[in-house]
Amino acid sequence: MGAVQSSPLVLTTADACFIPAASALLPPRASSHVAKPRSNSSLSGRIRRVDEILEPPVSKFTSPVAQNPIFPRCLALKCVRSEMEAKNDETAEKPTLGFVEIDQGLIDQMVYDALVWSSLHGLVVGDRNVNRSGKVPGVGLTHAPFALLPISFPESQFREACELAPIFNELVDRVSLDGKFLQDSLSRTKKVDAFTSRLLDIHSKMMEINKKDEIRLGLHRSDYMLDEQTKLLLQIELNTISSSFSGLGCLVSELHRSLLSHYGETLGLDPRRIPTNAAVSHYAEALAKAWIEFNNLKATVLVVVQTEERNMYDQHWLSSVLRERHNVRSIRKTLAEIDAEGELQPDGTLLVGGVPVAVIYFRAGYTPNDYPSESEWRARLLMEESSAIKCPSISYHLAGTKKIQQELAKPNVLERFLENKEDIAKIRKCFAGLWSLEDPHIVGKAIESPELFVMKPQREGGGNNIYGDDVRETLLRLQREGSEENAAYILMQRIFPSISPTTLIRDGICYKDHAMSELGIYGAYLRNKENVIVNEQCGYLMRTKISSSNEGGVASGFAVLDSLYLT
């Protein structure tokens, strides 16, 4: 394979998907600095795919791979290679953008330049070691964790993910309007999950008073992994509340483009193969259009935030673009502050601190930790009762729960909400295996082969899922207790994406390890009565984590921000 050809690529902020097909593969990797991984025949002999243990057959699962150690302890800036586990020859020979073979001096220089760039351009988060970093802007800053170079990703699958975004936007809207479907689907979960129960209570009250949201706004993110064995793009989850990193994710794409503009010729990489990422601009534009539809020039956008938010700069990027490009003001309030300062006018207008609110943008309220007292629940109900545009509304929030995801994967359920057969087929193709714990057959198979499944509760924010032997132990405990707690979970096919050597940077320290990545596609949907004003994909988020880590949240400390190199 030769160097990447420099055929022209048209990359626009309007649509990152319309990119001419890549005409060359990635450049070859030198192997003189790395020992060839040994074959692991015993592993392949003992691993079975889920389609081999399930009857009747289901969608193919990929085989698990050997796990790697966690990040080493803090070291000097110079990159330290962790002890990598053996990979089979086929995986080792695949072209990657890992840094294991690149000259150490070059890595050190790129790391230094990347850290400087991050500091100058606002690719920052609050430092967990500084007490006030989550409350006072500008205090205790550190760079956001990131991968040194973008991850290679097939253009065809990237295009497929982008094309799915408007379909999922419409699906969420349709599901949100079917209150009976939401209540019925989550009825068993309500009995055992107090948090979901409180959300359903608010939703039920809105149904009782026949509350109609004529203007509906959704800022979503659908997350995928590319299955290594089947090459299928499979959905992990659909986020309908607090879809984060539209701001910092854009900056990582710019960081990588900057690095390749300086070092790309040496590395044999073309910076134009990193698609433009304008997620923060598209999100701000959707919020501004919603503000216009509300039609009150004195009104503001209310950003609902957590009491301590070290990821505040990602949020501030969005507010800054909203103000500077659209002249729309925003205010930041916690749920407790909204309860204390909020007031509902007779016409439904919500005032917070005496200021009318046009749009409520939730960057909190998705976890039970955000509701430590009744004050926060009063605030959530107050906002839902108001005429302000909620992003998301309570029905949009519930439409993004794991249980609804599992229900939509059942036969003939998508047809309840969508008419276009091609759209239905596209969505169904990206569904991984999803099951209720009411199915004794699938529960038995998960106990037998827990490594092929993930148990998911109705939670967002990372760090909540159950993997490996913990799946077996949890399922056995639920069987022994005979309670209805199983309704709080779903079972999902575990996806095994390709693994490649990657350089990761956190807290100014550089690590080399094998890693896997997860692609998120942002989507925006705005509707006023029957008029669809916005329905588009808005950019992407790439997150990379070492292969030994099950969870994948950046803010929760499991992953780093990344970008795409289309192949």
**Does 420 count as an annotated binding residue?**
no
Mean pLDDT over 203-221 rounds to 96
> pLDDT-based confidence at 46, cuts 50/70/90?
very low
Per-residue pLDDT band for 551 (boundaries 50, 70, 90) equals: low
pLDDT at 246 over 90: yes
Position 555: which residue type? Answer: A
Q: pLDDT averaged over the chain?
A: 83
What are the tens digits of pLDDT across the range 86-132? 333 343 344 445 444 678 899 999 999 999 999 999 999 999 999 99
Residues 6+ apart with CB under 8 A from 58: 50, 51, 433, 493
Q: Is 495 annotated as a binding residue?
A: yes
Q: What is the pLDDT of residue 329?
A: 97
Residue 21 pLDDT exceeds 50: no
Residues acting as catalytic residues: 221, 237, 239, 244, 402, 456, 460-461, 543
Residues 481-501 have pLDDT tens digits of 877 888 888 899 999 999 988
Residue with the bigger pLDDT between 209 and 546: it is 209
- Residue 464 annotated as lining a ligand binding site: yes
d(CA 566, CA 19) in angstroms, rounded, equals: 9
Tell me, what's the pLDDT at 10?
Answer: 32
Q: Is 395 annotated as a binding residue?
A: no
Q: Exposure pattern of 539-563 as b/e (b: 16+ CB <10 Å)?
A: bbbbbbbbbbbbebbbbeebbbbbb
Instruction: Tell me if 444 is assigned to a ligand binding site.
Output: no
Q: By CB neighbour count within 10 A (0-12 exposed, 13-18 middle, 19+ buried), where does 282 fall? A: buried
Q: Is it the case that residue 426 has pLDDT exceeding 90?
A: yes
Report the pLDDT averaged over residues 424-441.
Answer: 93
Q: Has 258 been labeled as part of a binding site?
A: no
**pLDDT (0 to 100) of residue 550:** 56
Rounded distance between C-alpha atoms, residue 163 and residue 224, angstroms: 13
Domain count, the chain: 1
pLDDT at 102: 79
310 annotated as ligand-binding: yes
Rounded Cα distance between 140 and 133, Å, is 5
pLDDT attached to residue 8:
31
Lowest mean pLDDT among 55-69, 273-287, 405-419: 55-69
Determine the average pLDDT of the residues in 218-232.
95
Does the annotation list 295 as a binding residue? no
Cα separation, 251 vs 264, whole angstroms? 18
Over residues 436-461, mean pLDDT:
88
In 11-129, where does DSSP find H-type helix? 41-46, 50-53, 89-92, 104-121
**492 in a known ligand binding site:** yes
Reported pTM: 0.82
559 is in an annotated binding site: no
pLDDT, residue 95, reads: 41
257 known ligand binder:
no
Which backbone phi and psi does 236 adopt, to 5 degrees? -90, -50
296 is in an annotated binding site: no
Instruction: Find where tokens 């800053």 sit.
Output: 141
Phi, psi of 322 (to 5 degrees): -60, -40
**Is 110 annotated in some ligand binding site?**
no
pLDDT at site 487 = 86
Domain extent at residue 187: 2-566
CB atoms within 10 A of CB 14: 11
Alpha-helix runs per DSSP H in 346-502: 374-385, 394-399, 402-408, 421-430, 440-448, 469-481
- Stretch 369-383: mean pLDDT: 98
Q: Which two tokens stand for residue 75?
A: 């070291």
Average pLDDT (404-425) is 96
Q: Is 131 annotated as a binding residue?
A: no
* Residues counted in the chain: 567
Residue 460 is predicted with a pLDDT of 73
HSE toward the beta carbon, residue 554, CA cutoff 13 A: 31
DSSP class per residue in 190-242: HHH-HHHHHHHHHHHHHHHTT---SEEEEEEEEEEEEBTTT--EEEEEEE-S-
Instruction: Please indicate if the annotation marks 365 as binding a ligand.
Output: yes
pLDDT for residue 555: 55
Rounded to the nearest angstrom, the gap between the alpha carbon of residue 440 and the centroid of all alpha carbons in its chain is: 31
pLDDT for 53: 44
